């Protein structure tokens, strides 16, 4: 037992390529790692929101955890917890699953953009054991009338994996709406396929393309992910949907 804690709200196992194995449990506002030497569960000094359910996946020698739409996801490497190692700009999520070399999330929340109970988001394929999430957001988007160019001084579009064809949503100001990325010119500049009408500064936005909606947000919301014969299974309250490996978002070919 984990002494003096509330009920366990989730658990996972980290197994690394170097032979490290760790059992992790989540309870209350903390994580606990089993110490085989003492037989105790060592508290990890986390500060999660209370009463949240946790899900985990083992990927790239890391344990990834999500616990709903409030706390940012974290990764654990057997000695330290991180909110940046392969989880920078990773959407918050209720459900997580690994398959075909990617991490998939379901029932998500974006830092800027809101909650999407029927949306799946997935990472890019790893490069040198590093993954990008094809997501960037901010509150400093600058736009010029009669121009297709937008800039965000606080962004790193290339590092985050933003690509031509991604959607960008300007969420505040007189140019608010959905647009399409034509080119990623630098870490801080994007050219759109559309010309903007008004000059604006310091506006909120988010941009990314690694997502798809499983039907739409309604009472039949995302309730879990599964994997079967190269098919990602998306479970909702009253239905289940499958996506084939041959589709772009679920293949490493």
pLDDT score recorded for residue 251: 33
> pLDDT tier at 5 (50, 70, 90 boundaries)?
low
248 pLDDT more than 70:
no
Q: Residue 218 and residue 216: Cα distance in Å, rounded?
A: 6
The stretch 6-28 carries a mean pLDDT of: 94
Report pLDDT digits (tens) over 163-201.
Answer: 999 999 999 999 999 999 999 999 999 999 999 999 999
Residue 253 is predicted with a pLDDT of 27
Beta pairing, strands 211-213 & 74-76: unpaired
102-154: per-residue pLDDT in tens? 999 999 999 898 999 999 999 999 999 999 999 999 999 999 999 999 999 99
**What is this structure's pTM?**
0.92
Look at residue 250 and tell me whether its pLDDT is greater than 60. no
pLDDT at 216: 79
Per-residue model confidence as pLDDT tens digits over 23-78: 999 999 999 999 999 999 999 999 999 989 999 999 999 999 999 999 999 999 99
- Tally of CA atoms within 13 A in the half-sphere of 5 that contains its CB: 19
Helix, coil or strand: residue 249 = helix
Residue 133 has what DSSP assignment? -
Does position 249 have pLDDT exceeding 70, yes or no? no
Alpha helices by DSSP H, the chain: none
């Amino acid at each position: 037992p984990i002494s003096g804690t509330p009920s366990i709200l989730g658990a996972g196992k980290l197994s690394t390529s170097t032979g490290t194995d760790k059992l992790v449990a989540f309870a209350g506002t903390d994580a606990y790692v089993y110490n085989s030497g003492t037989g105790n569960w060592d508290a990890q000094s986390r500060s999660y929101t209370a009463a949240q359910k946790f899900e985990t996946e083992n990927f790239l020698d890391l344990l990834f955890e999500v616990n709903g739409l409030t706390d940012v996801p974290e990764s654990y490497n057997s000695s330290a917890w991180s909110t940046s190692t392969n989880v920078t700009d990773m959407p918050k999520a209720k459900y997580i699953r690994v398959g075909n070399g990617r991490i998939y999330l379901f029932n998500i929340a974006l830092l800027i953009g809101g909650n999407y109970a029927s949306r799946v988001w997935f990472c890019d394929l790893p490069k040198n054991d590093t993954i990008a999430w094809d997501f960037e957001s901010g509150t400093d988007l600058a736009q010029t009338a009669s121009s297709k160019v937008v800039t965000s001084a606080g962004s790193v579009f290339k590092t985050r994996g933003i690509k031509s064809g991604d959607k960008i949503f300007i969420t505040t100001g007189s140019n608010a709406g959905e647009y399409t990325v034509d080119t990623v010119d630098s870490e801080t500049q994007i050219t759109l396929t559309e010309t903007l009408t008004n000059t604006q500064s310091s506006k909120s936005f988010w941009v990314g393309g690694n997502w798809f909606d499983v039907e739409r947000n309604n009472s039949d919301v995302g309730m879990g992910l599964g994997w079967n014969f190269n098919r990602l299974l998306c479970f909702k309250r009253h239905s289940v949907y499958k996506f084939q490996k041959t589709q772009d978002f679920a293949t490493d070919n």
